[in-house]
Amino acid sequence: MASMHFTEQQTIPSTWRMLIFGGVTLIMGFIAFMVFQTEWNTMPADEKPFLLALLIGPLATLILFIIRLDVRITSSTVEYKVHPFRKKYKVIPFSKISHIELMKPKGIKSFKGIGTHQSINQTELNFGGKYMVILRMSNGRLLSFTTNKPQELSSFLQNLPEGSPMVKSEI
């Protein structure tokens, strides 16, 4: 018999990626243009190559185009990784999870923003999904991530075997 599992891959929404990349590129381009117009002729020759450092901003934002959240839930574990920063999945067995909550966030203040956010007892992985999955650990920590497949996930969580964490669904 094949094992049951739920998988999902999420990327940052393309509108956010384009807005951030475009904004950074415009700002850095404006700075380069203004330096070229006002100080280029008076600038010492050994300082001119440092203007290439303005390319670091747009090049660094290119990471937004390859970053991806991979989530896998099996009948006994929750596994996730943020590609390209983690090669292997981080595995959380159900024995460490007290309950799982699937909900639609109420308002924009429910999220801390797009991306990953960590505090002492909470990790939030927000990649633009419309629904939020909250894992409450036995030790009090919280792990939350977004999902774009709430119906599939809800159906999967309701069919977990006995002894799995308690599931609360608000969709």
Task: Give the tens place of pLDDT for each residue, 64-105.
Answer: 788 888 989 888 888 999 888 888 998 998 889 888 888 887
165 and 108, same domain (yes or no): yes
10 class by beta-carbon count within 10 Å (0-12 exposed, 13-18 middle, 19+ buried): buried
Domain co-membership, 112 together with 150: yes
Which residues, including other chains, have CB under 8 Å from residue 31's CB and lie 6 or more apart?
54
Q: Do residue 98 and residue 143 come from a single domain?
A: yes
Residue 93 token pair: 């067995």
Alpha helix locations (H) across 48-166?
Answer: 56-61, 150-158
Same domain as 144, residue 86: yes
9 vs 48: CA distance, rounded Å: 43
| Burial (CB count within 10 angstroms: exposed 0-12, middle 13-18, buried 19+), residue 52 | exposed
When computed from its CA atoms, the radius of gyration of the chain, rounded to whole angstroms, is: 22
31 with 100, same domain: the answer is no
Domain that holds residue 132: 5-10+72-169
pTM: 0.74
pLDDT of 108 above 70: no
Q: Which residue has the higher pLDDT, 108 or 36?
A: 36
What number is the average pLDDT over the span 38-63? 80
Percent of the chain with pLDDT over 90: 3
Between residues 166 and 8, the one the model is more confident about:
8
> Looking at residues 26-33, what average pLDDT do you find?
87
pLDDT for the residue numbered 113: 67
Cis peptide before 84 (omega within 30 of 0): yes
